[in-house]
Amino acid sequence: MRKMVIFEGTIAAALILAVLVLFLAPLTPRMLLYPLVRQAAQAKINYETRQMEAYETPHFIIKYSPVDAATVPMVAQAAEAAYAPVTGTLGYAPAGKTLVVIYRDRSELNKNFGWSGSQSAMGVYWGGVIEVLSPNAWFRAGPDEYKRTGPMVHEYTHLVFDHVSRGNYPRWFTEGLAQYLEYRVNGYEWRTADNSLGGRLYTQAELDDRFDDLPSQALAYRESLAAVRYIAAVHGDAKLRQVIAALAAGRTMRQAVAGPLGMDYGQYEQEWMNWAKTNMQ
C-alpha cells in the first residue's frame, strides 16, 4: 500500500515534470527526443560496423575495410581539415569523436541506406554518422584535391548543424548550409550545365515542401546554396548565425528568417532570387 502510494506519487511527479517540459521549454517534443534518436542510430551503425578496421584521429574514428587501408590517411586528413572551419563557423563542437565509415563501393553505401543504384552520392550524413564512398571507387587525384572537392566539409557541416538544431530544419537549409561551407572553406561550388540561376527557378514553397522530389536536384541544390549565401553575403555571418540560433531555439524556418533579417518569408524569397541572378552567375 505504502509502496503503491510512493509509486503513484512518482508517476504524478513525472507527469507534472513532463507537462512543465512541454509547456515551458520552447523546444518541441520532437526536438527534445531528437538527440536520443540520433544516439540510438549512431550506436546501431557503430555495432553493425564492429568487424571493420578502425583508425582514430583527434576528432574522428574512421572505420574501413582492409582493401581501403591506403585511402584512410587521405580521408583522415580531410576530416581533420574540416573540423576547425565547420565547428568555428557554427559555433559548436560535438562531444566525443565523430564516426566516419568508408564503404568499398557505391552498392555497399547504397545498400546501407536502401537506395537505388542511381543515387550517386560520394558521401552521406545520417544518424550522427558520416558515411563516405571509398576514394578507391571514384577518386584519382591526391589528398589536397580530396580535401577541396571531397565530401568531408559538406557532410561534417550536416552533422554539426544537426547537433546544433536538433533536427529542426527543412532539407533545403541544411543542403544550402553544407554547400555554403564548401564554398567558404574550399571555394568549391557544384555547377552543372542545367543549374544556372538565370532561368526559371523553383519557388521557395517548392524547396520547402518537396526538395528531394524536385526533378532537377542540381538546380534545387544550387538554389539552396543561393538562399543561404545571400544571408551571409548581404546581411553578414552574424545574421546567418542568428538564423541558425533561431532554429536551434525551436522557431520555424519562416520565423528564423523573419526575426534576424527583418523581412517576411515572401520578401526573403524575392531578395535571395534577385541577389543570386546578379551575384551567382
State which residue has the least CB distance to Zn ion: 178
Instruction: Give the nearest distance from C-beta 162 to Zn ion in angstroms.
Output: 11
Contacts of 133 (CB under 8 A, 6+ apart): 102, 103, 105, 106, 109, 121, 122, 123, 151
Among the residue ranges 70-78, 145-153, 169-177, 191-199, the one whose residues contact Zn ion (CB under 5 A): 169-177
Residue 47 Cβ vs Zn ion, minimum distance, rounded to whole Å: 25
Nearer to Zn ion, 197 or 225 (CB): 225
Residue window 1-40: x/- pattern of binding to Zn ion, with contact defined by CB under 5 A: ----------------------------------------
Contact 222, 183 (CB under 8 A): no
Using the rule CB under 5 A, is 109 a contact of Zn ion? Answer: no
* Shorter beta-carbon distance to Zn ion: residue 175 or 269: 175
Contact 237, 260 (CB under 8 A): no
| Smallest distance, Zn ion to C-beta of residue 176, A | 9
At closest approach, how far in Å is the CB of 154 from Zn ion? Answer: 5
User: CB-wise, 178 or 246, nearer to Zn ion?
Assistant: 178
In the complex, the smallest distance separating the C-beta of residue 8 from Zn ion, rounded to whole angstroms, is 49
Question: CA-CA distance, 47 to 19, in Å (whole number)?
Answer: 35
Burial 121-152 (b: 16+ CB within 10 A, else e): bbbbbbbbbbbbbbbebebeeebeebbbbbbb
Q: Which is nearer to Zn ion, 106 or 261 (CB)?
A: 106
Q: Which is nearer to Zn ion, 172 or 261 (CB)?
A: 172
Number of residues that bind Zn ion (CB under 5 A): 2
Determine contact, residues 274/197, Cβ cutoff 8 Å.
Answer: no
Separation of alpha carbons 226 and 272, rounded Å: 7
Site residues for Zn ion, 235-254, by CB under 5 A, read none
Other Cβ atoms within 10 Å of 217 Cβ, number: 15
Stretch binding Zn ion (CB under 5 A), from 8-16, 32-40, 61-69, 176-184: 176-184
Sequence-separated (6 or more) residues with CB below 8 Å from residue 204: 227, 265, 266, 268, 269
Q: Quick one: which segment of 6-14, 32-40, 178-186, 197-205 binds Zn ion (CB under 5 A)?
A: 178-186
Can you tell me the distance from the alpha carbon of 150 to that of 154, in angstroms, rounded to the nearest whole number? 8
Nearest residue (CB) to Zn ion, 101 versus 261: 101
Identified binder of Zn ion from the candidate list 76, 86, 130, 178, rule CB under 5 A: 178
Cα 217 to Cα 19, 102, 110, 204, 281: the distances in Å are 42, 25, 18, 14, 18
| Nearest in space to 154 (alpha carbons), one of 224, 237, 255, 64 | 224
In the complex with Zn ion, which residue's Cβ is closer, 135 or 176? Answer: 176
**Residue with Cβ nearer Zn ion (68 or 155):** 155
- Residues at the contact surface with Zn ion, assessed by CB under 5 A: 175, 178
